[in-house]
Amino acid sequence: MPTAAIKICGISTGDALEAAIRARAAHAGFVFFPKSPRNVTPGEAAALAERAQGRIGRVGLFVDADDAAISEAVAGARLDALQLHGSESPERAAQLRARFGIAVWKALSVATAEDTARAASYAGAVDLVLFDAKTPKGTLPGGMGLSFDWNLVANWKGPIAWGLAGGLTPDNVAEAIRLTRTPLVDTSSGVESAPGVKDGGRIQAFAEAVRGASDF
Ligand SMILES: O=C(O)c1ccccc1N[C@@H]1O[C@H](COP(=O)(O)O)[C@@H](O)[C@H]1O
């Protein structure tokens, strides 16, 4: 089984970025959502992006953001991909992909089989769907350390590339990979010591657990 690609989301410091690179993560996520404890300004993201150049992919996370905010972040942080984590429709996702000419990932919150079935409506509009947990009303739409029933996406064979997010930690990611056979895992709060504070040791442990999950 090929090793799942790793995305470490919510990178807001140089130390966290270096830890993700050392751990051989494929993608670093920058959160552009002011309500998040992981929010970065376009200026902060630009400095991190400069350091990331050629070493790790740069994914910008947005929640129902407007074109102006996305445009500023794409240009400043030279993003390789947009991760849409709000209620963006397939039409909106396709419009952003056409406008910015970079990969678009759509996060879909999952609690039932109907939720995973929604992924098909994004075929042709996005490059990847990211299955994540539903979060309670009035809280952040992600980054809460909540997971969902992984059986709902086990061996998912849809028309789009996919990944798994939601409550993944160094302790449970190997089990998640074995059960679902996901090609990509995304974590944020699971590799933190406090909300918004990335822990280099936990990032390394997460990556080792991901690689270990392929050796069976
Ligand atoms: O990380 C955030 O603060 C965040 C805010 C708003 C939407 C999504 C957010 N994070 C993403 O949520 C999933 C799951 O996170 P966790 O591992 O359960 O903490 C992941 O894709 C994060 O990138």
Predicted TM-score (pTM) of this structure: 0.96
Q: At 2, is the pLDDT very low, low, confident or very high (cuts 50, 70, 90)?
A: confident
Q: Which residues line ligand 1 (CB under 6 A)?
A: 9-10, 29, 31, 33, 36, 38, 61, 63, 85, 107, 130, 132, 140-146, 165-168, 186-190
CATH level 3 topology of 5-212: TIM Barrel (3.20.20)
Tens of pLDDT, residue by residue over 173-195, are: 999 999 999 999 999 999 999 99
User: Which 3 state secondary structure label does DSSP give 95?
Assistant: helix
Helix, strand or coil, per DSSP, at residue 27: strand
Ordered by start, the domain boundaries in the chain are 5-212
Given a cut of 60, is residue 209 above it in pLDDT? Answer: yes
Q: Among 200, 77, 179, which Cα is nearest to 131's?
A: 179
Phi/psi of residue 27, nearest 5 degrees = -135, 140
Q: Region 44-49: what's the mean pLDDT?
A: 96
Please identify every residue annotated as catalytic: 9, 132
Task: Tell me how far the alpha carbon of residue 169 is from its chain's centroid.
Answer: 14
Could you give the CA distance from residue 4 to residue 68 in angstroms, rounded to a whole number?
Answer: 33
Assess: ipTM above 0.90.
yes
Ligand 1 geometric centre to CA of 27 (Å):
14
Phi (first) and psi of residue 126, to 5 degrees: -135, 165
Concatenating the DSSP letter of every residue in 32-94 gives: E-TTSTTB--HHHHHHHHHHHTTTSEEEEEESS--HHHHHHHHHHHT-SEEEE-SS--HHHHH
Report residue 62 CA to chain centroid gap.
Answer: 11
Say which residue, 120 or 215, is predicted with more confidence.
120
Provide the Cα torsion 132, 133, 134, 136; round to 10°.
-130
Residues in the chain: 216
Distance 8 CA to ligand 1 centre (A): 10
The protein residue with its alpha carbon nearest to ligand 1, atom 16, reads: 143
Contact 180, 147 (CB under 8 A): no
Give the number of other CB atoms < 10 A from CB of residue 186: 29
The DSSP call for residue 156 is -
- What three-state secondary structure class fits 173? helix
